[in-house]
Amino acid sequence: MTDDSTSPERVRIRRRSWARVLIPVVLILAWLVGAGLGGPLFGKVDEVSSNDQTSYLPSSADATKVQALLGEFNDGDAIPAIAVFVGEDELTDAELETITDAVADAPSLEGISDEVSPAIASDDGMAAQAFIPIQSDAELSDAAKALGAQLQADAPDGVKVYITGPAGFSADLVAGFSGIDGLLLGVALLAVFVILILVYRSLLLPIVVLSTSLFALCVALLAVWWLAKAGILLLSGQTQGILFILVIGAATDYALLFVARFREELRISHDKGAAVLAAWKGSFEPILASGGTVIAGLLCLLLSDLKSNSTLGPVAAIGIFFAMLSALTLLPSMLLLFGRAVFWPRRPAFEPEVVAAENGMPKKGLWAKLASLIKRRPRLIWIATTLVLLAGAIGVTQLDAVGVPQSDLVIGSSEARDGQVALGEHFPGGSGSPAYVVVNEGSLQDVADVLLGHDGVDTVAVTASDSPSGTANVTADGITAVGPPGTPAPDPTVVDGDIMLQATLTDAADSDGAASTVRDIRTQLADYDALVGGVTATAIDTNDASIRDRNLIIPVILVVIMLILMLLLRSILAPVLLILTTVLSFGTAMGVSALVFNGIFHFSGADPAVPLYGFVFLVALGIDYNIFLMTRVCEESIAHGTRQGVLRGLAITGGVITSAGLVLAATFAALSVIPILFLVQLAFIVAFGVLLDTFIVRSLLVPALSYDIGRRIWWPSKLGRGED
């Protein structure tokens, strides 16, 4: 007998066998190493992130310039907290003395600055306030909580203590974002796991798919964390939350597409390796096109003036890149190792004769019935669905997206918000959050007179380092001393020939009245080259920049995505129609959301960035389903004609697109567990919009419209001159 174990054919077979085992093992090990390095960074993102709103403004904004100068005038960059003491009756002298002593002891706490102000009683005698700065390098939430606890313990009986002001509201935000690493991630993964169990009725496959998503997130976090640490990227709790959700949702969607192709191939192939390879070839283009389109849309955010937008673009794009990479490398490797066993206990049968009889198209089931309905009534279906969507889009006129008060950023209980209410009842509304005005020292009195002459300004002070309180009052008669009669007036602090005035506003710093006052002041001081900053000015500059970004970036994203679709589908008409249906779907999602926000949740409004973010995610991610559907329709149209290709594409991809839509909607809905107004609104808009896109636009409108138009939808490509 001849030994042919060393024959070239045998050697090639052995090499292919080893490659089938070695390559997936190496890829899985590489992802394990990456996840092992990135996993420990969960819970450490706050080390390289910031929630300071001024750090996201463009450097040219007045509020940014003033913020940069604050440290020079105040000899520090501490964050001011306002301690408000409210009594049940008028505070006695003894109670005021106790409050003063309590405030004086505050610097004994870790993270509290020594530069505390004396307690000041209100005109009605019912309350007192003190300014207690928290050091910028302190754990803000912990420091504010400890400060409030100590002051409440030292306060007289019956006196309620609140910690509010910039430090109080920032502490609320920090506390709100604290659930991102644990609660948000856990809820999102659990929601996806439950959906995958229901879809596949398998235990192992959901674990494999979720592993793909989780490993992609770990490696994306590893890259983003080190880029943020190096100062290349700017991170916030908001960006972090969106990154988590986006990677989990996108990676799972891409995995679902790959798994659907893998299952198709297993029905006609005994060889799991051949099935994986065929699935990879069939999935590579739509996954790459989908991910590339999302990345292109996200990178359009780089055009933003706001760093919160411009940095989200590359951060989220990095996440999408690793989501694609995991779906095209890690997932195929695991499927190659498990084979049919991954679907246990519902393993796909090897049934090439059944597939041949079906001719590649399911004859039964919901999607086959829906395809049959579209075949009978295409025009009625697309006209009816368009009218319904247009009716829903009318509600967009009720969307109030011009900004929300700082006190409404956190949903639920808020000590800072309660403190601001108490402050406004007993002191001028803008106490503790003044408008900072930087002018040349020669214009001090002229500028002070302009400020004092405005109805929205209560008092004006000037920064004075040799004053016990750090400031001195400015009246029409000049700078007045703070202290006993005969105390000389302090000299204002001068930095490079400039002085800083502090205007206490009559309205709360985050109110529309305060915003109107600051805009008026900026106009009236234009001749003095004054810079106006502070909490109110920061909100104004942020909202103005956000509105500008929204008006610029949305059209750019539409053009970019349309060009990508034209290249992908080699058509002009189809991409135009797909973009129009996506925009219509977005308008309906925003219209319904506006009605829900106003009529059910009674939100005070929305940030100007909400429509922009909603558009980016709904359009960029919604295009994914267009690509999943239309690439398959194009593939089927080449072999069977356009109208038959539409029906076949719908029937074949309906299940996977629906599953992907449910997963993405569930992951974005998980954002609502974070009690931040922006994220809750974004969660509803995207979740509702994705479901609308999945069940109405992709299942009814696009297929019916495409079927009705027929081969002309591919104009001007050769396919457009083929068969209907």
In whole angstroms, give the CA distance from residue 480 to residue 476: 10
Low-confidence ranges of the chain (pLDDT < 70): 1-21, 50-55, 75-77, 179-181, 357-363, 468-469, 481-487, 722-723
Name the nearest CA neighbour of 294 among 582, 95, 49, 47.
582
Q: DSSP class of residue 49? A: B
Rounded CA gap, 266 and 255, in Å? Answer: 16
Backbone region of residue 471 per phi and psi (left: phi > 0; alpha: psi in -120 to 50; beta: other values)? beta
User: For position 608, what pLDDT does the model report?
Assistant: 87
Residue-level pLDDT at 75: 59
Q: Between the CA of residue 720 and those of 502, 634, 643, 706, what are the distances in Å? A: 68, 11, 12, 12
Q: How far is CA 690 from the centre of its chain?
A: 16
Long-range contacts, 657-660 (Cβ 8 Å, 24+) = 657/625, 657/628, 657/629, 657/694, 657/698, 657/699, 658/694, 658/695, 658/699, 659/195, 659/199, 659/256, 660/252, 660/253, 660/256, 660/257, 660/624, 660/625, 660/628, 660/694
Order of strands across the sheet with 160-164?
120-121, 127-134, 79-86, 160-164
CA distance 635 to 237: 42
Q: What is the largest CA-CA distance in the chain?
A: 121
* 310 and 318 Cβ atoms separated by less than 8 Å: no
Which two structure tokens, joined as six digits, stand for 585? 């779907």
Burial of 30 from C-beta contacts in 10 A (0-12 / 13-18 / 19+): middle
Residue with tokens 């709904």: 618
253: its two tokens = 């969607």
Residue 716, pLDDT score: 86
| DSSP string for residues in 519-545 | HHHHHHTGGGT-EEESHHHHHHHHHHH
Contact by Cβ (8 Å): 661, 629: no
Q: How far apart are CA 391 and CA 400, in angstroms?
A: 19
Q: Is residue 611 within 8 Å of 278, Cβ to Cβ?
A: no
Cα(95)–Cα(102) distance, rounded to whole angstroms? Answer: 11
DSSP 3-state assignment of 139?
A: coil
Instruction: Provide the H-helix boundaries in 396-494.
Output: 415-426, 444-452
Q: What is the pLDDT of residue 11?
A: 47
- The secondary structure of residue 412, as a DSSP letter, is S
- In the three-class reduction of DSSP (H, G, I as helix; E, B as strand; rest coil), residue 130 is classed as strand
Q: How far is CA 520 from the centre of its chain?
A: 32
Residue partners of 221: CB distance under 8 A and separation at least 6: 38, 41, 42, 45, 243
Tokens 């065929």 sit at which residue? 278
Confidence (pLDDT) at 187: 87
The token duo for 113 is 């600055």
